[in-house]
Structure 1
Amino acid sequence: MPPIVHALIPVIVLISCGYLAGHWRWVGEQGLKDIAKLAFNLLAPALLFRTLSQVHLSELDLGPVILYHSLTALWLTLWVAVHGFTHRGCIRALGATYSNAVMIGIPLVSLAFGPPGLVYMLTLVSLHALTILTYATVLFELAAAREARLQNAQDQVSLWLTAARAAKSALLHPVSLPSFLGLIFAQTGLALPELIDKPMDWLGRAFSPLALIMVGIQLQHVLSKGLPWGQRATQPSDPHHLDVRAVLGMVVLKNLFHPLLILVAASLMGVGDMPLVVMLVTACMPVGANVFLFATRYRVGEAEVSLSLSLSVLVAMVTVPGLMALQPTVTQWLRP
């Protein structure tokens, strides 16, 4: 069985389980909201803190990491500018950017490249959430502050006060705060006591499966209403609003053009073969489940994200092996 298929099948199974749970009415819309709060406010912080509490910056090869995350942040910024500096624009841009690097990327690299590739993969993944999700959090909070300021223009709220409120919200966010605290804790050289580490490990392990099951439940809710091809059945302000063209755009950008950006830039910069391949694999991964958690937290684009995530997983079965086959030719042509 090809490594990409081997890595993607568990993801498809979990999304399918969620779909069946929604079909059998085990979880309704209110229940899905409650589960999302649990995942975002309890499970995700445990995963982020514990992962980053084991990252020692002095031991990392930061060159490929800095290049990958700089390009990805620029890619995210570009599509926020294209879609508009609103919550919906931010969620569509994040869907075109953020990879499912943990659940799919790590098993795939481990199977295909063994320990040498896994070292680079873990280096990338260890800072993936800290950099991209923290930056996304800042964008979402600034967009929220901007929208609130525009709606209450008569109050003449200071731009600096608006920025300060957004920065505070971003810093105390359940993604940013545990990430920073975990990274700071790691640099002390201390280890978490087992009585704390073990429960956090259990909580963190529950996050990814639960997030994918939630995607399946939301997908069932979306598909049960039918796909509005070429029309808009709901208002854009509705979190269940679905623009299929926007969904397809997210999938194409995430599965094809984001990896091509990383491949071309890394080749031009002369990145070594193994880190370049791992960077490409990370960028090739389908839309990450964390994007859906952002959609549920900010109540925007839930239907679009759940559909794009599911389609992205299926499309990855074609694009990942295709781009991996293309990589040696592109690198040989572009490398200085």
Structure 2
Amino acid sequence: MVVFQAILPIFGLIVLGYLMGRRGWLAGEAAAGLANITFKLFMPAVLFAGIARAQLSDGMSAMLLLAYFGPVLTVFGLVALIAHRLLGRASPLGLTAAYSNNVLVGIPLVTTLLGPGSLVYVFAILVFHSLILFSLQSFYSALGSGQKVSGVALLKNLANPLIVGLALGALLNVSGLDLPQPIWRVADWLAAAALPCALIVLGISLSRYRLRPSASALALTVVKLGVFPLLVWYVSGALPGIGHEARSVLVLLAACPSGVNVLAFVINQDDTRAVSSAVFLSTLLAVISLPLWMLLMSA
């Protein structure tokens, strides 16, 4: 019951955003403006303030990163290989199965269920999450289609405001310096607006796509919500030095639905239906699968 009570407000805000988008209450320039300020200011403030105050020694460990990114690369590679053989071309299907919505869903989920102290493990994953997967997809798309790898596109991954927020927070943390209290208060106010705005933006983004169930979308959803977190659960339990709290965070992050950002890597229009439906379907079914994974971790 506690798990459902924690998850329902998160998905309640996503549904609210979806309804606002479908009814046109917040659309066009207004929706784009909310998304921009959320991802360029509010969410970077969350990451900056969180990692600046975190005990980095608790989160930054080779075993923790291996427990998450080992399964990430496995899922990405296997799904991309199978899709490539079936389609005869590069596609973002591997990215869809491996890329979790760790910012919009993962941060509020971990904060609500495990407490703010557990966010240090989330930050450790976020430092490399988009950078590794987006760069890998960029290489794969370019090489798979015979194009040249774009150095500019790879550098844009580093210029992501979320990564900048993480980097600045980490620098402040390791420097041992502190900011004046008024600046911290501003950062905390910005961070307080981030999570509700981000979830509403996610709902608005989903309202642009229709759920068109297909075999590929269903298969991607099963891998994303089932196979991927199962691999993380197994690997994190087999590796030494990973406590129960850290393992719970990793499994929850892996069990989050596919991130909307993967749609930016859709080049072939034939992939649009599969990717958008997988993002939509995985977000919808995560209401059921996430509590099950949390119950497993608490058993």
Q: Under a length normalisation based on structure 2, what TM-score does the superposition of the two structures give?
A: 0.77
* SS of residue matched to 2:161: coil
Match of 1:103 among 92, 105, 108: 108
Q: Deviations over 1:189-209 (max 9, x none)?
A: 112222322222222232222
Work out the percentage of aligned pairs sharing the same amino acid: 21
Instruction: Report how far residue 221 of structure 1 moved.
Output: 3.8
> In the TM superposition, what are the counterparts of 1:183-332 in structure 2 within 5 Å?
183-223=170-210, 227-229=211-213, 244-270=214-240, 274-275=244-245, 277-279=247-249, 281-283=251-253, 285-287=255-257, 291-292=259-260, 294-295=261-262, 303-304=276-277, 306-316=279-289, 319-320=292-293, 323-324=296-297
1:1-336 matches, cutoff 5 A: 2-58=1-57, 60=59, 62=61, 64-75=63-74, 77-78=76-77, 79-83=79-83, 88-89=92-93, 91-95=95-99, 98=102, 100-110=105-115, 119=117, 121-139=118-136, 142=139, 150=147, 162=149, 164-223=151-210, 227-229=211-213, 244-270=214-240, 274-275=244-245, 277-279=247-249, 281-283=251-253, 285-287=255-257, 291-292=259-260, 294-295=261-262, 303-304=276-277, 306-316=279-289, 319-320=292-293, 323-324=296-297
- Go from structure 1 to structure 2 and tell me whether the alpha carbon gap of 1:141 and 1:172 turns closer, same or farther (over 3 Å shift): farther
- Provide the C-alpha distance between the structure 1 equivalents of 2:150 and 2:23, rounded to a whole number of angstroms: 45
Deviation at 1:8, TM superposition (A): 0.6
Q: 1:182: Cα distance to partner?
A: 2.0
Q: 1:29 to 1:173 in 2, by over 3 A?
A: same
Aligned length: 287
**Structure 2: how far apart are the matches of 1:127 and 1:39?**
21
Q: Distance in 1 between matches of 2:4 and 2:112?
A: 11
How far apart, in 1, do the equivalents of 2:38 and 2:219 lie? Answer: 27
How far 1:188 sits from its partner (Å)? Answer: 0.2
Inter-CA distance 63–298: structure 2 relative to 1 (3 Å threshold)? closer
How far residue 262 of structure 1 moved from its aligned partner, in angstroms, is 1.7
Letter aligned with residue 92 of structure 1: T
Larger deviation, residues 203-212 vs 49-58: 49-58
Q: Name 1:233's counterpart in structure 2.
A: none
Is 1:250–1:308's contact at 8 Å kept on the other side of the alignment? no
In 2, Cα distance between equivalents of 1:97 and 1:215: 10
What is the RMSD computed on CA atoms of the aligned residues? 3.5
Native 8 Å contact 1:105 1:285 kept in 2 = no
Rounded to whole Å, the distance in 1 between the matches of 2:37 and 2:140 is: 24
**Which whole-Å deviations, capped at 9, do the CAs of 1:59-82 have from their partners, x for residues lacking one?**
547255233333244245424555
Q: Is the 8 A contact 1:48 1:179 kept in 2?
A: yes
Conserved in 2, the CA contact under 8 Å of 1:22 and 1:221?
yes
SS at match of 1:175: helix
* Distance across 1 between alignment mates of 2:199 and 2:63: 29
Cα contact 1:76–1:96 (8 A) shared by 2:
no
Structure of higher CA gyration radius: 1
TM-score for both structures, normalised by structure 1: 0.69
Structure 2 CA distance for aligned equivalents of residues 27 and 273 of structure 1 = 43
Q: Deviations over 1:278-314 (max 9, x none)?
A: 24642464227xx22x257668868436513531332
1:35 and 1:90 mapped to 2: Cα distance?
Answer: 29
> CA separation in 2, counterparts of 1:147 and 1:135?
18
